[in-house]
Structure 1
Amino acid sequence: MVVDDAIAPRRRLLGHALLAAATFILLAVALLQTLDASGVLAIGFANWRPLLYAYLLWAVALGAWQVIVRGYVGMRALFVLPAALFTLAVAIFPTLFGFYIASLDWNLSSAEGPHFNGLRNFAAMFQDPYYWNALLNMVFYLLAVIVEYAIAFGLALLLNAEIRARKFFRVAFLLPFMLSPVAVSWMVGKSLMEYRFGPAARLARDLGWDTPAFFANPWTARIAIEAMDAWVSIPFIMILLLAGLQAMPREVTEAAKVDGANGWQAFWRVTFPMMLPVSVTAVLIRIIFKLKLADIVINVTSGGPGGATDTVSSFIYRVYRDRSNVGYGTALAMFYLVLIIIFLTVLLRVTRRWTRSVND
């Protein structure tokens, strides 16, 4: 065993020099490959494999640096290092590569191929009204998560109560969650809500709606898309809340009833505060999934009418599919990623403070 204090200064210097040399090689290869791919320099790299080799060399040097400089503590760090390096390779590098693609003028329908154009894709993004319309639509879809949560909480309370056929209803309410959103979009959006022969359209006519075109009016179309997505996703929130309710000690709610609290008071003063950690987790996970909403929109409306139902993901998908514009589509995706990171970071801090204030 090597104690940190017993490591010689020369050994530390050797470790630092080894890591510095490997880092320099990695950065140099990354810079040269980027300049070559952008057309600034004609080095002649056939692919990005040299960068992979440089990264592997740097990973080995990092492991050696841990042992040489930190001794026994560094040996223990070697057990965690492969997982950290793998995460860096599959998460950080692709993100950086995405920003690189976002700086290219790369249209698959063009014979010229990709070439560097700086920040022009991002400048075009700020002048694209359809993209900002999709971002505004996401505000509506995200606010609808509150309604989904309220419905899911009500169902969880119902299924947690002593009612008849409780097991049957638990399975029945989970059935939509077992279906693919693509299947739901065709089964409900394309068949059930079809404006000529769909059962929902016929029922609407019987109720007095002369032209029941669910996807012709912007707000009707948004609500219809949200209803389909909520039908698929509410069971997921419900099952998380139901698990939290079943984990609650019954003595607490029984004590509230003994103290004279009615049903609403027991829920608001006891059940809801105790369920806050589970609720926050369920809502945050649902928001993350909602930010990726695309499949139902693509299959049912393709963003119409006039972009009224577009989400950011569905709009980016159409940029790739219809315009074949890889560079611009990637720029939209990278900007959306930055917005998501900022939004979730702020949301986590706000919910943490709010949870503490309620529990206090």
Structure 2
Amino acid sequence: MNKTSIFSRFGKTEASIAWLFMTPGLILLVLFVFWPIIYSLPLALTNYSIIGETEFVGFDNFKTAFQDKSFITSLINSLLYVIVVPFIQIFSILMAILVNSNVKGIKFFRTAYYIPVVTSMVAVALIWGWLLSQNGVVNYILSSVGLMEERITWLSNKNTALWTLMFITMWKGLGYYMMIYLAGLQSIPKDLVEAAMIDGANRWQSIRKVTIPLLKPYVFFCSLISLMAAIRVFDEVFILTQGGPGITTLTSSLYIYQQGFQKFNFGYSSALGLIVSVLIAALSIIIFRFNQKGGVNPY
């Protein structure tokens, strides 16, 4: 038997084993991701009823959506959440650069920065709800240093509630993106940075001219998933404000949940979900278009 046939048979065996290991995950994806997406397409064209008859209404759900002031407000709030994305990326890169060293005790800081990511959103909500209450620590500190005359409830004030939620979202996500950027930094050959330093570049210039361009694939990936997460934000809004006060912090995901699982308007909620999906796809395409080649190996 020649070597070519041996290698081809080994390749087929390896591929079969890979597919075997992926099969359970693929089955779960088909059942709980792809099938609901496919099923939601015809569902969005109906007035679905669990008890009575399901009626075909065509594009009436979509027409209603664009006349629904609450849905328009939720879309605007979700788009405002996108403001968080660049700040998350900038601070995450800076944090990754700070912890990308062999200083004694640096592992402690890496762990500390990552703790909010693995902390339950319920626990986070309880902590921040206490910190931001009218008699909480934040108001006490701000009033003590003279930055605030009258204490406010940050999550109950219509002028501050949404921005406060955005801050909490940013705080919780920083550690996740920091770890991705840290992996990217550690994949950059040190020779390139050292060569820039030898050529006369200072620390900031080497970061701007060498490190950041080589991190572009990671910036692209993190920006994309951060954008999707910002528009689909749900947990912190649901736990901390329920969309209030009024509909000031109502986001698209929360409104879709309310229509589907509280009012049982499954057809309408499916139509809303498709509209949000198209919006996310459009913004993702924009990120793809503006993406430039970079990284250690162009991709």
Partner-residue secondary structure (3-state), 2:160:
helix
**235, 248, 255: which one aligns with 2:195:** 255
Residue 355 of structure 1 is matched in structure 2 by: 293
Question: Residue 199 in 1 paired to residue 141 in 2?
Answer: no
Residue 44 of structure 2 is matched in structure 1 by: 102
Displacement of 1:187 in angstroms is: 2.2
Q: How many residues align?
A: 276
Deviations 1:251-272 (A, max 9, x none): 1111111111112211111111
Instruction: Tell me the distance in 1 between the aligned counterparts of 2:209 and 2:159.
Output: 37
Displacement of 1:90 in angstroms is: 6.0
Instruction: Tell me the distance in 1 between the aligned counterparts of 2:30 and 2:166.
Output: 36
Instruction: Tell me the distance in 2 between the aligned counterparts of 1:90 and 1:199.
Output: 42
Q: Which letter does structure 2 place at the counterpart of 1:284? A: L
Instruction: Tell me the distance in 2 between the aligned counterparts of 1:169 and 1:95.
Output: 41
Question: Residue 341 in 1 paired to residue 294 in 2?
Answer: no
Normalised by the size of structure 1, how large is the TM-score?
0.69
| Residues 219, 243 of structure 1: alpha-carbon distance in 2 compared, 3 angstrom cutoff | farther
Residue 173 of structure 2 is matched in structure 1 by: 233
Q: After the TM superposition, which residues 66-77 of structure 1 pair with which residues of structure 2 at under 5 Å, given as runs? A: none
* Contact 1:142/1:290 (<8 A) preserved: yes
* Contact 2:78/2:232 (<8 A) preserved: no
Question: Residue 212 in 1 paired to residue 152 in 2?
Answer: yes
Question: Residue 309 in 1 paired to residue 249 in 2?
Answer: yes
* Contact 2:220/2:287 (<8 A) preserved: no
Displacement of 1:278 in angstroms is: 1.7
**232, 246, 250: which one aligns with 1:292:** 232
* Contact 2:232/2:253 (<8 A) preserved: yes
Deviations 1:41-62 (A, max 9, x none): xxxxxxxxxxxxxxxxxxxxxx
Q: Which letter does structure 1 place at the counterpart of 2:271? A: A
Instruction: Tell me the distance in 1 between the aligned counterparts of 2:34 and 2:155.
Output: 40
Unaligned 5+ segments in structure 1 are 1-74
Higher RCO (CA 8 Å, separation ≥ 6 residues)? 2
Normalised by the size of structure 2, how large is the TM-score?
0.82
Partner-residue secondary structure (3-state), 1:348:
helix
Instruction: Tell me the distance in 2 between the aligned counterparts of 1:106 and 1:307.
Output: 26
Instruction: Tell me the distance in 1 between the aligned counterparts of 2:31 and 2:258.
Output: 29
Deviations 1:228-285 (A, max 9, x none): 1111111010001111111211111111111111122111111111111122122222
Instruction: Tell me the distance in 1 between the aligned counterparts of 2:54 and 2:139.
Output: 48
Instruction: Tell me the distance in 2 between the aligned counterparts of 1:322 and 1:205.
Output: 40
Question: Residue 176 in 1 paired to residue 111 in 2?
Answer: no
Instruction: Tell me the distance in 2 between the aligned counterparts of 1:149 and 1:194.
Output: 29
Residue 135 of structure 1 is matched in structure 2 by: 75
Q: Which letter does structure 1 place at the counterpart of 2:229? A: F
* Contact 1:181/1:229 (<8 A) preserved: no
Instruction: Tell me the distance in 1 between the aligned counterparts of 2:48 and 2:261.
Output: 13
Instruction: Tell me the distance in 2 between the aligned counterparts of 1:246 and 1:349.
Output: 27
Identity %: 28
Instruction: Tell me the distance in 2 between the aligned counterparts of 1:331 and 1:223.
Output: 28
Residue 244 of structure 1 is matched in structure 2 by: 184
Residue 126 of structure 2 is matched in structure 1 by: 186
Q: After the TM superposition, which residues 120-131 of structure 1 pair with which residues of structure 2 at under 5 Å, given as runs? A: 120-131=60-71
Deviations 1:164-207 (A, max 9, x none): 4211111111111111223212221x222122x32223333334
- Structure 1 residue ranges, 4+ long, deviating more than 3 angstroms after superposition: 85-93, 161-164, 216-219
Q: Which letter does structure 1 place at the counterpart of 2:293? A: T
Q: Which letter does structure 2 place at the counterpart of 1:343? A: L
Instruction: Tell me the distance in 2 between the aligned counterparts of 1:292 and 1:171.
Output: 27
Instruction: Tell me the distance in 2 between the aligned counterparts of 1:107 and 1:302.
Output: 25
| Residues 235, 323 of structure 1: alpha-carbon distance in 2 compared, 3 angstrom cutoff | same
| Residues 191, 241 of structure 1: alpha-carbon distance in 2 compared, 3 angstrom cutoff | same
Instruction: Tell me the distance in 1 between the aligned counterparts of 2:267 and 2:256.
Output: 11
Instruction: Tell me the distance in 2 between the aligned counterparts of 1:307 and 1:355.
Output: 41
RMSD after superposition: 2.8
Unaligned 5+ segments in structure 2 are 1-11
